Amino acid sequence: GAVVSQHPSRVICKSGTSVKIECRSLDFQATTMFWYRQFPKKSLMLMATSNEGSKATYEQGVEKDKFLINHASLTLSTLTVTSAHPEDSSFYICSAREGADSNQPQHFGDGTRLSIL
């Protein structure tokens, strides 16, 4: 099956640090990748949609200068949380969609637990 690898799985860093999270589709090409944020015992909140070779589309309320997304290849998207603060602590999950059909399933990574001290 389609595998999405997310790295790192856990990050603990000081306030003010920038953190980069990688999302890779290992066995398929992903034209579109998605970044979600999940709070404890809550649903997934879509932050942005990332299309290979173009600018990401951010959801309302998500600061694009805070959460930088790069999707430079068909197998890699990165999310950089710039100047992270304790309120940015959360579980960040990426997903990748296989194929051009907008209703193909999304395959999720295992998430990154970000803790800002």
Binding site for other proteins (CB under 8 A): 4, 6, 34, 41-44, 46, 49, 93, 95, 102-103, 105-111, 113
Minimum distance of other proteins from residue 16's CB (angstroms): 26
Minimum distance of other proteins from residue 22's CB (angstroms): 14
DSSP for 2-67 reads --EEEE-SEEEE-TT--EEEEEEESSS--SEEEEEEE-TT--EEEEEEEETTSPPEEPTT--TTTE
Pick 14 or 41: Cβ nearer other proteins: 41
Minimum distance of other proteins from residue 28's CB (angstroms): 13
